[in-house]
Amino acid sequence: MLGVIADDFTGASDIASFLVENGLRTVQMNGVPTQPLQDSVDAIVISLKSRSNPANEAIQQSLQALDWLKQNGCSQFYFKYCSTFDSTEKGNIGPVTDALLKALNDDFTVITPALPINGRTIFNGYLFVGDVLLNESGMRNHPITPMKDANLLRLMDSQAEGKTGLVAYADIIQGSEQVKARFAALKQQGCRYAVVDAVDNQQLAVLADAVADFKLVTGGSGLAAYMAARLSGGKKGDNAFTPTKGKTVVLSGSCSVMTNQQVENYQKKAPHLFLDVEQAINHPDYADKLYQWTMENLDSPLAPMIYATVPPEKLKAIQNEFGAERASQAIEQTFARLAEKLKNAGVTNFITAGGETSSIVVQQLGFSGFHIGKQIAPGVPWLKAVEEPIYLALKSGNFGKVDFFEFAQGMAV
């Protein structure tokens, strides 16, 4: 079995969808379970909320996840982070990778966030988003993990204990044996991590062969898809379920470029209400007001949307006025209280945008795990809670097309 430790909930559903699509029976767990797994599966994905909290907390959560996965039969492990390498100079990708390697008594792994199907590619160690460098994309304005450098070697060296080397495009196109030889050379040079170039899926397929015997692999969902294909023998999975029609809401907290476009598009078609940060901070009953408005609009042809999504200049103004962390926490907590109220009122389908928003909503709703359904967009499947027929679509900020919110609702039967 493959055991996956994902640093947020959208990332967990992202990788789980690719594992299922490529033939692995997969279950996604909400946090570290307290009981052994009862199902017979090929892969387990544990979703944490460890991307932006203090590094020591992220390490503790990740090691707990690793211990549980080992106890439940996993023999290879995957640390999944965002395809835009969301982190700071202090972590958490580097510190968590170091802790996992130590716990597995290992000393080398790969760093490969590439996801070509969504425009995340690596060349000469630089991470691209579409046709621009990471630090020239909308990620430079991320409210929690602004990405100011596109060089993955520098990013990793700034936050990890070891040294990072490169497996360049010229090496990986020669095949897995050349990649393995490059790994051996980097280890002799004292490197602990290897950033591996990938400009399309062919390189990820080669890399999946090269890391077949690794105890720990780290990266985005792109490499995991090819590892799953290799493990399943190329079998395609049955992930055909879609949500049943029911009361639906859209909760958007992401301020990414794509989510701004998606929100703007959806505003033209559906009821929408802005989540005001000042109200969220200063008025304890603000979630009640949002709840009342949402309930009044639940019977609209398209689901009502509550959104905190704003363009970069407005986001900066909000952060300057209230403080970035204070504003973020107020928004998350408001979404959490609102989601709980809506579930209790009979809402069955939740569409959320943004890793932090999705994480806090899932935590508040309290489900232990999810079955993985049909993809709405690459890396964004419909999920069904294990305990009851509640469906969730957890979208990373920059994923999906401009009509994502409407398209997701149209899949319900």
Q: Looking at the 3D structure of the chain, how many domains does it have?
A: 2
Mean pLDDT to the nearest integer, 205-225? 98
26 DSSP β-pair partners: 43
Provide the pLDDT for residue 137: 95
Per-residue pLDDT reduced to its tens digit, 310-355: 999 999 999 999 999 999 999 999 999 999 999 999 999 999 999 8
193 in the same domain as 333:
no
Shared domain check, 390 and 290: yes
The answer to whether residue 391 sits within a structural domain is yes
Residue 70 within a domain: yes
Which domain-ending residue is among 232, 258, 283?
232
- Asked if the model's pLDDT at residue 239 lies above 70, the reply is no
Domain match, 304 and 385 both = yes
92 upstream amide cis, omega within 30 of 0 = yes
Kindly state whether residue 79 falls inside one of the protein's structural domains.
yes
- The verdict on 190 and 258 lying in the same domain is no
The dihedrals phi and psi of 26, each to the nearest 5 degrees, come to -130, 140
Average of per-residue pLDDT across 71-82: 97
**What is the H or E stretch that residue 257 is in?**
helix 257-267
Is 281 in the same domain as 346?
yes
Pair (138, 252) in one structural domain:
no
Q: Are residues 44 and 129 in the same domain?
A: yes
Query: Quick one: 270 and 386 in the same domain?
Result: yes
Whether 189 and 224 map to the same domain: the answer is yes
The answer on 365 and 224 residing in a single domain is: no
Same domain, 307 and 210: no
Q: Which of 186, 204, 232 is the last residue of a domain?
A: 232
* Residue 240 forms part of a structural domain: no
Which residue, among 407, 274, 280, 276, has the nearest Cα to 351 in the 3D structure?
407
Last-in-domain residue among 204, 232, 260? 232
Predicted local confidence at residue 39, as pLDDT? 81
Q: Indicate if 256 and 181 belong to the same structural domain.
A: no
Output the pLDDT for position 356.
86
237 part of a folded domain: no
CATH number at residue 204: 3.40.50.10840
Domain assignment of residue 258, given as a range: 248-411
d(CA 90, CA 83): 18
